[in-house]
A = this chain, B = another copy of it.
């Protein structure tokens, strides 16, 4: 007879921690560091606070490490603190807004990994500006709840706001270190406005903003765009609408659907705009979902998103590679499943960039919502575009042999990550198409530059 059971979310990811980036001791160490840094960055720049982060990793006796990550972010309200750090699928980033975090999982996985390798509880201090809440906690895996081992409040005379988290874990820092440093170097491109101090048993890494650096506008919460919104989501939105809401009012909950558009769209569907949405039947709801795919709505409004911008990308690539030439392309906003997204792409050529050795796939720097992606590049949708979708010979370019560095940044109110460890972006049609168009435009501009340069060289030689 089969034994049926209900698993808790914590138990699922405890059982399947490879999915969340804890495949082995080296990748686990990297993921612990990444998840804590991204939580701190979200607590800052998503709220318009210039980030200041301190990260220190020490070796303790035996092979335990201790990581401390401290930030000047908005902090966690005391009533949510234990759940924020101790309950899987609990978080503040489930709204339609650009964040690094998206799953309500990462911080908990780091804490759980520390707990399963050392038995030690995590030590968290956080404040929104009032008293500092200080807790030691563990995660009860089968119940998916925090277990508060100790709690105390501390005075906060300076009204400091921010969070500091201290975690013990066992991991292979020696082999993770080069990737952590690569993550930090790539972060210099993505975060010219932040201060990050990192120290580990082998040394230091530090960067701080230029005095002229402008804090980018924080992302805003955005209503879903109609394109790609499916039947399940439509029904959920109908469920949460007030009783008596007419169809035209309901349609105006979507991004870029105003009075006119909602009227026209209702006519397009052959539905009366004054129909109460809570009274719509299955066939009408289906018709709306199909209309959401076929009707030409105004494109999404990119103002809710916070891209890097061409200036930042150029500055970063220049500093890192001293190329001879850089092309940057920012696509207009697009959408999938109702989520707005923007693709930024760049190609850097020549200068101090060495020729590719012919065996690399292509040298590609990948970012998603400002997170540097380092693992599993061959599966990333951007690499598939470079290797399969663009015929580089049309532009006299060879990604595997020329001195080229490629860069992509997927900016979205929800990035379609393929793994819970955020290793790479899934092969989503709408995203792949936008990356393809961006790289073709970059390639075209680079070809123009190179042929002009060749022409000038010939002119010069006469």
Q: Which residues of A contact B (CB under 8 A)?
A: 1-9, 12, 14-16, 18-19, 23-25, 27, 74, 76-77, 80, 83-84, 87, 89-92, 94-95, 102-104, 112, 115-119, 141-142, 230-233, 236, 282, 285-286, 289, 376, 378-379, 414, 416-420, 426-429
Which chain B positions have C-beta within 8 A of A289? 119
Nearest chain B residue, comparing its CB with the CB of A139: B232
| Cα-based distance from A285 to B117 in the complex (angstroms) | 12
| Docked-complex contact A18 and B418, CB < 8 angstroms | yes
Closest beta carbon of chain B to A339's beta carbon, Å? 10
Q: Which 3 pairs across A and B sit closest by C-beta, in order of nearness? A: A18-B426, A2-B92, A7-B89
Contacts A231-B119, A378-B379; A4 near B92 (Cβ below 8 A): yes
| Docked-complex contact A80 and B4, CB < 8 angstroms | yes
Which chain B positions have C-beta within 8 A of A282? 119
| Docked-complex contact A428 and B23, CB < 8 angstroms | yes
Closest beta carbon of chain B to A14's beta carbon, Å? 7
Copies of the polypeptide in the assembly: 2
Which chain B positions have C-beta within 8 A of A230? 116-117
| Docked-complex contact A23 and B92, CB < 8 angstroms | no
| Docked-complex contact B416 and A18, CB < 8 angstroms | yes
Which chain B positions have C-beta within 8 A of A417? 16, 18-19
Nearest chain B residue, comparing its CB with the CB of A230: B116
Nearest chain B residue, comparing its CB with the CB of A8: B89
Knowing that A1-B77, A6-B87, A141-B236 are A-B contacts, what are 7 other residue pairs whose CB atoms are under 8 Å apart, sorted by A's residue number?
Answer: A7-B94, A7-B104, A19-B420, A23-B418, A116-B233, A117-B231, A119-B282
| Docked-complex contact B116 and A4, CB < 8 angstroms | no
| Cα-based distance from A231 to B115 in the complex (angstroms) | 8
Q: Which of B84, B115, B232 contacts A112 (CB 8 A)?
A: B232
10 contacts between A and B (CB under 8 A): A1-B77, A2-B74, A4-B80, A7-B91, A9-B9, A12-B103, A14-B232, A16-B417, A115-B231, A117-B230
| Cα-based distance from A349 to B170 in the complex (angstroms) | 43
Contacts A119-B289, A286-B119; A89 near B6 (Cβ below 8 A): yes
| Cα-based distance from A24 to B432 in the complex (angstroms) | 11
| Docked-complex contact A3 and B117, CB < 8 angstroms | no
Closest beta carbon of chain B to A304's beta carbon, Å? 16
Closest beta carbon of chain B to A416's beta carbon, Å? 5
